[in-house]
A and B are shown apart, each in its own frame.
Chain A
Amino acid sequence: MKRTILWMSVGMLLLAGLPGCGFKDIDRRFFVMAIGIDKSEKPDKPYHVSLKMAIPFSKIEPGKTNTYQLVSDDASSITEAIRHMKSKVDKELDFSQAKIVVIGKQMSAEILQKDTLDWFMRRRDIQGAAYMALGDPSAEEVLNVKTDSERFPGDSLFLSFDHDGTESSYIVTEYLFDFHRRVTEKGLDPYLPIIRPTGNAYLIDQVAVFDKTKLKAVLSPEETRIFNKLVAKYQKFDIETKTDQIQFALNVDKIKTNYNIDTSEDLAPVLHLNVRMIGQAEESSKSFYEKPWSYYERLAEQGVAARYTHLLQKLQALNVDPIGFGLHYCATHHNGQQAEWTAWETIYPKLAFKPNVRVEIKSSGGVK
């Protein structure tokens, strides 16, 4: 008995030198921070994959420790490219921190094909909550930017998209899982924010809308802000109102949106969009201290409603539906045998938009 225990413990001690098979120390891994997919010029190797890999530092300092290694490869598939790239680096590639996937603008039609996205969804170490964006002019150029404020490579992009750092109403966030869903879901179309490198910084103020096969249009920054409200339920907004008498700006910090589709009249379906905004005056050419502010509220409402209508009509003209009106319609008008979808396809082009905006001014924003 005692002898068996002795031998067993000696065996255990010897085994202690041998770790398990998934064992790979953190310093033997190369953390891929961002993945870029571009279209290459070679027809037999259409995928130009770039990886931005972080070089580890023991002490993080902004602007100094964001050194990275950018590796690219052309191949016939993403898998092939990654496999070949492993021969270019000295450590094991680890995608567990790859929080952003940038698609080159040239590649935008291909990414909608299901098998391209498949690679991202299948790999267990790429998070479904990774951000997706479109790189203009190319993904590689976006990846190759080194901003001065970054603490580690890719930090700027992560902070921009997760609303943890900057909170801009121009930045639309799109996640990998959501994009994948939109590519396949009927009545809900994909969109991607566009990142434009500007020297050693980024500009993210546009959004690209897709139908199920290709990029349809790029929205202007002003349209992007409204888009952000509607699609991402983004809560921060500001309203500029300018008339001959007064010019004022409201800072809105609470927005409630809901809509319903009224098809009681077959020929003239209407979408009622109810928006309620609560905010305070931020800038004004007139003093703003006394209530009632209803006059200014009505002025602001008119401006906002016009902007909503403009965007909705533009999306309608493009025949894209990133807000998911179609999905909403199908979910609430079940008709068996997918008849509701064909019904929606005829309804959408003739849908009239009636935004009903209510602005409430909470305070004048100043102390008398």
Chain B
Amino acid sequence: MKPFDLHAAIPGLMHSGDLVSRGLNIDEESVQLVYLSSLCDKQYLQSSIMQAFGDSSDRADFKNRLSLIPGYEQVQSGDAAVQKLLRGYALVLFPDAICAIESAKASTSKPLDATMESILQGPQYAFSEDIATNVQIIRTRYPSKELRVEYSVIGTVSQTSLAILYDASKVDPDVLLELDERLSKIDAEVVQASNQVQMLLTDRYHLLPTGLVTDRPDRTVLNLSQGKVILLLNGTPFSINLPAVFFDFLDSMEDVYQYPWLMRPLQALRYIGACITMTLPALYVAFVSYNPEFFRAQLAIEIAGSRAAVPYASYYEVFLMLFLTEALTEASIRLPKHIGSTATTVGGLILGEAAQQAGLVSSIMIIIASSVAISNFVIPINTMSYAVRVAKFPLIILAMYFGLVGIVTGIFCFVLYAASLRSFGKPYLKLFSGEAKRSR
């Protein structure tokens, strides 16, 4: 009896430490069972393959019994077999064929708490990190026969699985076509995050995001019902919603759940917040250093008085305070949660007050710095909040050189740029992207 040629059957995997290879003998005939112990469920192997093996009288009988097990496939030797092994299949090698039986461990991934976009009254759980669970979540929340799920892989090395979901009756076929085209062009080696996929799908150097990344299943389902395409990436608890226009990024899910009289003013507050966080530091520089006639007389005298202790030009204090607040924001994201709160206390309370008393910044600058930071946090979607954080700096530089005229020009250019963007064919500044009334 000749041994099986594992080299030929599964090239390259022979030296893996977790590869289990066992010969099974029936009478004089033998088969070889191969699996990766780290991926496969041993209990399941026992109850399916071993059970079938025990009951079989000869090799052909065993093969027949195997073919009855769910998740059975016949594969070619070589790369195809290797791929199956790497996905948690167990291979049974017959002299003339290779049978693959799906026996991956059940996912231990559970839905996480929705932390990225908290809302008060509404669904509280987010996606999990496992694609199958996520597809299941969406299927449960959107039990429509029109819901299509297509699987694909992304990343030449990571081979991360990617699910594309859409409502076939509502989706714009042009978006699907463009998505297919762009997906086929991606040649990144390792893809691990939804934001990364979103970036790869769009232009790398865009300032504003054109795909909406969310961890909320309810937002995802709402977008599905509005005819958008959803991408789910294995290993991340986020979905990518395409196409997405500017106004989607300033919507919270609570806007859909509450009475319009309550939510419209809050929505307005968010837009005002976005404007403030972008323009306020630049406006401060322009008004203090170029156009003090903007202020009322009393305010002008007060600002002049509070700036009297500051020996540097206005934009130095703006940059100093913005550096402090941006560094604080960054630190509180990166630091472990327990130290994070200490950092904000130290930074926010002590540095802000002390900087003013030391005469490095004026007292009005403290108010501006904090209102810029707070207004930034009212933007519900994180990627947009990042974009707006960045956009204020060019405005400050314009204000430094050209005053109010510079800011107006800067905002004009920003609007021009945003209007020139397209998200999968949809104009980025389009107000109402034709969503059906029934979806809210």
A125: chain B residues within 8 A (beta carbon): 293
Q: Which residue of chain A is the closest to B296 with respect to CB atoms? A: A97
Q: Is B288 an interface residue (CB 8 A)?
A: yes
A134-179 residues at the B interface, CB under 8 angstroms: 151-152, 154-155, 158
Contact code string B403-430 (vs A, CB < 8 Å = 1, else 0): 1001000000000000000000000000
The answer to whether B298 and A27 touch across the interface, beta carbons within 8 angstroms, is no
Q: How far is the CA of A97 from the CA of B304 in the complex (A)?
A: 13
Write the nearest CB–CB distance from A157 to chain B, whole angstroms. Answer: 11
Write the nearest CB–CB distance from B204 to chain A, whole angstroms. Answer: 14
A19: chain B residues within 8 A (beta carbon): 289, 313, 315, 400-401
Write the nearest CB–CB distance from A288 to chain B, whole angstroms. Answer: 43
Given the interface pairs A22-B403, A96-B292, the reply to whether A59 lies near B302 with Cβ below 8 Å is: yes
The answer to whether A99 and B308 touch across the interface, beta carbons within 8 angstroms, is no
Given the interface pairs A19-B315, A58-B363, the reply to whether A29 lies near B297 with Cβ below 8 Å is: no
Q: Which residue of chain B is the closest to A151 with respect to CB atoms? A: B298
B402: chain A residues within 8 A (beta carbon): 20
The answer to whether A29 and B301 touch across the interface, beta carbons within 8 angstroms, is no
B319: chain A residues within 8 A (beta carbon): 16
From A25, A96, A127, B288 is in contact (CB under 8 Å) with A25
From A20, A57, A97, A99, B400 is in contact (CB under 8 Å) with A20
Q: Is B305 an interface residue (CB 8 A)?
A: yes
A23: chain B residues within 8 A (beta carbon): 289-290, 313, 400, 403
Q: Is A8 an interface residue (CB 8 A)?
A: no
Contact code string B369-407 (vs A, CB < 8 Å = 1, else 0): 000000000000000000000000000010011110010
- List 20 additional A-B contacts (Cβ < 8 Å) besides A58-B309, A97-B292: A19-B315, A20-B402, A20-B406, A22-B290, A25-B289, A25-B313, A26-B314, A27-B305, A27-B310, A31-B292, A31-B301, A33-B297, A56-B302, A57-B302, A58-B305, A59-B305, A60-B301, A60-B302, A99-B297, A152-B297
The answer to whether A58 and B308 touch across the interface, beta carbons within 8 angstroms, is yes
Q: How far is the CA of A306 from the CA of B85 in the complex (A)?
A: 110
The answer to whether B308 and A56 touch across the interface, beta carbons within 8 angstroms, is yes
Interface size of A by CB at 8 A reads 31
Q: Is B306 an interface residue (CB 8 A)?
A: yes
Q: Which residue of chain A is the closest to B398 with respect to CB atoms? A: A20
Q: How far is the CA of A29 from the CA of B297 in the complex (A)?
A: 13
A51: chain B residues within 8 A (beta carbon): none
A14-38 residues at the B interface, CB under 8 angstroms: 16, 19-20, 22-27, 29, 31, 33
Write the nearest CB–CB distance from B300 to chain A, whole angstroms. Answer: 6
Interface of B is mostly: helix
Q: How far is the CA of A279 from the CA of B287 in the complex (A)?
A: 45
Q: Is A101 an interface residue (CB 8 A)?
A: no
Contact code string A97-113 (vs B, CB < 8 Å = 1, else 0): 10100000000000000
A154: chain B residues within 8 A (beta carbon): 297
The answer to whether B308 and A152 touch across the interface, beta carbons within 8 angstroms, is no
Write the nearest CB–CB distance from A200 to chain B, whole angstroms. Answer: 20
B290: chain A residues within 8 A (beta carbon): 20, 22-24
Write the nearest CB–CB distance from A33 to chain B, whole angstroms. Answer: 7
Q: Is B303 an interface residue (CB 8 A)?
A: yes
Q: Is A94 an interface residue (CB 8 A)?
A: yes
Which of A97, A127, A152 has the largest count of B CB atoms less than 10 A from its CB? Answer: A97
Contact code string A69-113 (vs B, CB < 8 Å = 1, else 0): 000000000000000000000000010110100000000000000
Q: Is B307 an interface residue (CB 8 A)?
A: yes
Given the interface pairs A56-B304, A58-B302, A152-B298, the reply to whether A24 lies near B293 with Cβ below 8 Å is: no
From A16, A22, A24, A155, B298 is in contact (CB under 8 Å) with A155
Q: Which residue of chain B is the closest to A91 with respect to CB atoms? A: B304
A32-78 residues at the B interface, CB under 8 angstroms: 33, 54, 56-60, 65
Write the nearest CB–CB distance from A113 to chain B, whole angstroms. Answer: 28
